[in-house]
Structure 1
Amino acid sequence: MALDVKSRAKIYEKLDFLREGQFATVYKARDKTNDTIVAIKQIKVGHRAEAKDGINRKALREIKLLQELSHPNIIGFLDIFGHKSNISLVFDFMETDLQVLHRVVVFGARMYGVGVDMWAVGCILAELLLRLPFLTGDSGLDQLSKIFEAPTDDTWPVSFELFSGTPLEHVFSAAGNNLLERLQGLFTFNPSTRLTATQAYYL
């Protein structure tokens, strides 16, 4: 017999506060039925304009995707239950000691193509190699200058400080030629000639 919402909530004992963002709070908890440690993400219920059937639309999409996905590289989605003010998603608890925060890759937006997602993959790969943020700028213009090297008036109608750029092998000194070639392909300026996911995988 399935447990009702109140009974399902009671089987989890909160142990520690982990993180809080604009839309959700994450706790470390214990599943009292099997004595396993889990992570509970409490998603705040959105305003009426943001919600569908009482649930924030972004949260609803996340729940639907998690229910359909099952892969060793994707965190396990174990349970879901609701309250008046939030929805709780229960996940496998994943220990970490690297303190690495991966950047969000936003898939499917209408204003750009897959090439932008591949650029983001390159940035994540670069940050994993450097263990530091990649291409950090002091301002928006400085950020673009570091990304584009020195665009001409044809490629970007703004004045940029001219500089020649730094070869990737000087930045990623520990990377082999194959990895450098992959990074170069992911950071190609023109998204139509940038590496696709399949090309990057088999390169």
Structure 2
Amino acid sequence: PGLAIMEGYKKISKLGEGASGVVFKAEVLDLSRIEVTSRKRLRQGEGGKLTVAIKKIKLKSNKEGLSQEAVREIKVLQELAHPNVVKILDIFKHHANINLVMELMETDLENVIKDTKNFVLQRGDVKSYMKMLLEAIKHCHDRWILHRDVKPGNCLIAHDGSMHLTDFGLAKAYGSPERKMTPGACTIWYRAPEMLFNADSYGSAIDMWAVGCVFGELMTRRPVFPGEGSNPTSNPSQALT
């Protein structure tokens, strides 16, 4: 099939697919859609055109429209503005789908940790990644937003080595004692003890627990609480008893 051209962008290739949508690499055909200050961070592809990542949000159905997670992610990312948090460069509708345009990243922290042949993690590297992650989390917490899914796979690495926290589909405002929380949020390997024991009220500590798990994984290059075997759906609470 030919490469799709949509709203000033041309799809180049598919980068990945998750529960909430499909991510493509694309060229920018209409520079007026990207702020001048944001263009400086974008990389040039073949032919000198700037490249971006486009996340096509899947609709639940024609009647239901966007999922709660998609609406939440868009809303939260529009509220946040920090060098270590992914930024929405553009939003457009195409064939009834909502598309988010973001900076194209080189890899993520999960791949860096797993690829022991090509990535050597010195103490300085670990300190740098942790500093950027903590600054991103602080920015969220200063605005009373919990990320609720901090893990290496959600820490994207740009071509200049900078880290950007992404995937805010589970993010939620906190601080109100009446607000009930979902204990099942967060990937289970990085889920805080209170969530494992089904607490429906929690705060910023659950993100900090996950940050600690990421730190341990950077140091040892393996998950801190993987549960039984390597199955991420198994319950790691046994390690806490």
Identical pairs, percent: 39
Q: C-alpha separation between the residues in 2 aligned to 1:126 and 1:77?
A: 30
Contact 2:87 2:103 in 1 (8 A): yes
Unmatched segments (≥5 aa) in structure 1: 1-7, 152-203
Q: C-alpha separation between the residues in 1 aligned to 2:79 and 2:171?
A: 17
1:22 maps to what in 2?
Answer: 19
Deviation, structure 1 residue 48 = 6.4
Contact 2:86 2:102 in 1 (8 A): yes
Contact 2:22 2:57 in 1 (8 A): yes
Specify whether residues 27 and 107 from structure 1 end up closer, same or farther in structure 2 by C-alpha distance, changes over 3 A only: closer
Aligned residues: 137
Q: TM-score, normalised by structure 1?
A: 0.58
- SS of structure 1 residue aligned to 2:105: coil
- SS of structure 2 residue aligned to 1:19: strand
Larger Rg: 1
1:113 maps to what in 2?
Answer: 202
Unmatched segments (≥5 aa) in structure 2: 32-48, 113-151, 155-166, 173-179, 182-199
Deviation, structure 1 residue 30 = 0.6
Deviation, structure 1 residue 55 = 2.6
1:144 paired to 2:237: yes
Contact 2:7 2:92 in 1 (8 A): no
- SS of structure 1 residue aligned to 2:26: strand
- Equivalence map 1:139-178=2 (5 Å): 140=234, 143-146=236-239, 148=240, 151=241
Q: TM-score, normalised by structure 2?
A: 0.49
1:56 paired to 2:67: yes
Specify whether residues 135 and 57 from structure 1 end up closer, same or farther in structure 2 by C-alpha distance, changes over 3 A only: closer
Alignment deviations for residues 24-82 of structure 1 (CA, whole Å, 9 cap, x no partner): 00001110134211000000112368x4xx33222112111222221110122111111
1:78 paired to 2:89: yes
Query: CA RMSD, aligned part only?
Result: 2.7
Residue of 43, 55, 60 corresponding to 2:57:
43
- SS of structure 2 residue aligned to 1:102: helix
